[in-house]
Amino acid sequence: MKYFEAIGKYFLMIREVFLRPTKWSIMKNLILKEIDDLVFGSLGIMIFISFFVGGVVAIQTALNMDSPLLPKYLVGFATRQSVILEFAPTFTSIIMAGKVGSYITSSIGTMRVTEQIDALEVMGVNALNYLVFPKISAMLLYPFVISISMFLGIFGGWAASVMGGFSTSVEFIDGLQIDFKPFHVFYAFTKTIIFAFILATIPSFHGFYMKGGALEVGKASTTSFVWTSVAIIIINYIITQMLLG
pLDDT on residue 49: 92
Residues 6+ apart with CB under 8 A from 94: 229, 232, 233
Contact 130, 25 (CB under 8 A): no
pTM of the model: 0.90
DSSP reduced 3-state for 123:
coil
pLDDT of residue 64: 85
DSSP E strand boundaries for the chain: none
For residue 28, give the nearest of 142, 134, 108 by alpha carbon. Answer: 134
- Burial 84-113, CB ≥16 within 10 A → b, else e: bbebbbbbbbbbbbbbbbbbbbbbbbebbb
The pLDDT of residue 167: 84
**What residue type is 55 in one-letter code?**
G
Residue 81 contacts residue 88 (beta carbons within 8 Å): no
Length of the chain: 245
**Nearest residue to 93 (alpha-carbon basis) of 238, 243, 210, 235:** 235
Low-confidence spans in the chain with pLDDT less than 50: none
Quote the pLDDT of residue 1.
Answer: 59
> Mean pLDDT of all residues in the chain?
90
Give the C-alpha separation, 236 to 89, whole Å: 9
